[in-house]
Copies of this chain bind each other. A is one copy, B any other.
Amino acid sequence: MTKRKDQIKLGAFLLYTGHHVAAWRHQDSMQNTELEDYIELARIAEAAKFDAIFLADGLEVRLENLDAASRKAHTGLLPFEPITLLSALAATTTNIGLIATASASFTEPFNLARQFASLDRLSKGRAGWNLVTSPDPGAGLNFGRENQIAHRDRYAMAEEFADVVLGLWNSWEDDAFIRDRENGRYFDPGKLHVLNHQGRYFQVKGPLNVPRSPQGHPVLVQAGASDPGRELAARTAEVVFAAQITLEEATTYYADVKSRMPTYGRSPDDLKIMPGIFPVVGRSEAEAQDKFEALQEKIHPEVGVDTLSRFSGGFDVSGHPLDGPFPDFPETNGTKSRQRLVVDLARRENLTIRQLYLRIAGARGHWQVVGTPEHIADVLEERFDNYGADGFNVMPPIMPGGLRDFAELVIPELQRRGRFRTDYEGRTLRENLGLKHPGGPPKAEAPASIRSESLTG
């Protein structure tokens, strides 16, 4: 294993109360979350030089099992909607990236392109959009769609949605606004590009009514693990938040996605793969284990079983004995990667339902590492140097303590080893992630499926 010359990238995945399902029951977790609490989390992350803070999203409160739902902080209910929250944090931060998740399933590409462009300008080039689709049937019910969209169609729609958004982000050239007071000319009509997109799912004329930001346009983030998801990532994504658990899975995934990129005229460096990690940090191994156990023991069995059912695409696990084997279930139209993850884990380690939910419910299926700062730095380096990751999306088990632990214990260790920055390289998210500015005239930049025409040429 040779040491890579580039440095590890780090995202801080902020989830109120923390990523452990029972964190809210712990005495040290955030309660009554207000903007000030998020300002403090962003301050901790920025002081530690994280590349970005990252917010997940959902479009429904999951109430199928109301008793279990009312026992959790994370049922799809969030203190704030991500785009509005990151806009507020744009005003209180200066260097850290601001990445929000937003579904392409139930919004208009014009509205989404515009709000992210606005966030990008508010933050002077620090925005990122995590493109997801909404597989859960419940979300559709909040948008007048009884029947969920088939997995295949969802990706075809998402692909076209992404093309439209990227096209709209290229409506204005960087120097379109000349503001010539003397001659009364505010913008140069020759530097305006009208999209005129006429596709299968969307018809969007443009131009966007927000100018470009200093980084050209927001960084495009994805998480897709399925085959069409990987293909979409290889074609358009600049960051992937992956979810592989073992080193082998991670390196296989990494090689697969990067190998698909040249077909689209892209270099592997144009995409940063950043798997999630759920780190429980202790100054000693025993302290780390104690921290973890203090959270695990607070998982209510009803919550544990309900989590398994949701990861199994809606298959009801509750009828089966807690200490019996995890049963087989039919694949549904839900998120494929989660279903695969649950089955693989149960079969690989021959786990009972209780053992499985203790493994899944805590870190919710992400890569979980419990140990000292040195140990965590070791496994991050190993995965990075083996090309299983270009960086990591850190999911602290409890907030704010878990984020502070990583910032104050793990990051200094990575810095001592020369594997993480000690100061920001630039002001934009692209500069810090080492991604290129989309640059050039929009015509050359737009994907082939987008017809871009200048009004005057």
- Chain A residues with a Cβ under 8 A of chain B: 22, 24-27, 31-32, 34-35, 39, 58-61, 63, 66-67, 69-73, 76-81, 83-85, 87-92, 106-108, 110-111, 114-115, 117-119, 121-122, 124, 138, 141-144, 146, 179, 181, 184-189, 192, 194, 202-211, 298, 300, 303, 455-456
A207 to B75, CA, bound (A): 11
Q: Which residues of B contact A455 (CB under 8 A)?
A: 63, 66
Partner of A25, one of B27, B59, B63, B184: B184
Known A-B contacts A78-B210, A83-B115; the reply to A70 vs B122 at CB < 8 A is no
Partner of A72, one of B73, B85, B111, B186: B186
Flag if B81 contacts A84 (CB, 8 Å).
Answer: no
Flag if A88 contacts B210 (CB, 8 Å).
Answer: no
Return A152 CB to nearest CB of chain B, in Å: 21
Partner of A61, one of B92, B121, B204, B207: B207
Partner of A186, one of B70, B118, B146, B186: B70
Return A383 CB to nearest CB of chain B, in Å: 34
Flag if A142 contacts B206 (CB, 8 Å).
Answer: yes
13 contacting pairs across A/B (C-beta < 8 A): A24-B181, A34-B121, A35-B121, A66-B456, A71-B184, A71-B185, A78-B210, A79-B121, A80-B122, A81-B210, A84-B119, A88-B122, A106-B108
Return A172 CB to nearest CB of chain B, in Å: 9
Closest chain B residue, CB of each to CB of A127: B84
Q: Which residues of B contact A58 (CB under 8 A)?
A: 209
Q: Which residues of B contact A78 (CB under 8 A)?
A: 209-210
Partner of A85, one of B87, B188, B205: B87
Closest chain B residue, CB of each to CB of A186: B73
Flag if B205 contacts A77 (CB, 8 Å).
Answer: no
Closest chain B residue, CB of each to CB of A182: B25
Q: Which residues of B contact A92 (CB under 8 A)?
A: 91
Beyond A24-B181, A27-B181, A80-B121, 16 additional pairs, beta carbon < 8 A = A24-B179, A24-B186, A35-B121, A35-B122, A63-B207, A69-B189, A77-B187, A79-B211, A80-B118, A81-B115, A83-B84, A83-B115, A88-B122, A107-B108, A110-B142, A142-B204
A202 to B145, CA, bound (A): 10
Residue in A58, A107, A117, A143 with the greatest tally of chain B CB atoms within 10 Å: A143
A205 to B455, CA, bound (A): 43
Q: Is the interface of A mostly helix, strand, loop or mixed?
A: loop
Q: Which residues of B contact A122 (CB under 8 A)?
A: 35, 80, 84-85, 88
A121 to B32, CA, bound (A): 11
Partner of A184, one of B61, B204, B300: B300
Q: Which residues of B contact A146 (CB under 8 A)?
A: 203
Return A193 CB to nearest CB of chain B, in Å: 11
Flag if B106 contacts A111 (CB, 8 Å).
Answer: yes
Return A361 CB to nearest CB of chain B, in Å: 13
A99 to B233, CA, bound (A): 38
Residue in A70, A72, A122, A185 with the greatest tally of chain B CB atoms within 10 Å: A70
Q: Which residues of B contact A118 (CB under 8 A)?
A: 80-81, 84-85
Known A-B contacts A24-B179, A108-B107, A185-B70; the reply to A88 vs B85 at CB < 8 A is no
A43 to B195, CA, bound (A): 38
Q: Which residues of B contact A63 (CB under 8 A)?
A: 192, 194, 207, 455
Q: Which residues of B contact A144 (CB under 8 A)?
A: 202-204
A110 to B87, CA, bound (A): 20
Q: Which residues of B contact A117 (CB under 8 A)?
A: 81
Partner of A59, one of B32, B76, B209: B209
Q: Which residues of B contact A59 (CB under 8 A)?
A: 110, 209
A144 to B110, CA, bound (A): 10
Q: Which residues of B contact A303 (CB under 8 A)?
A: 184
A67 to B455, CA, bound (A): 11
Return A39 CB to nearest CB of chain B, in Å: 7
Q: Which residues of B contact A206 (CB under 8 A)?
A: 142
Known A-B contacts A31-B179, A91-B92; the reply to A108 vs B143 at CB < 8 A is yes
Flag if A114 contacts B81 (CB, 8 Å).
Answer: yes
A31 to B70, CA, bound (A): 51
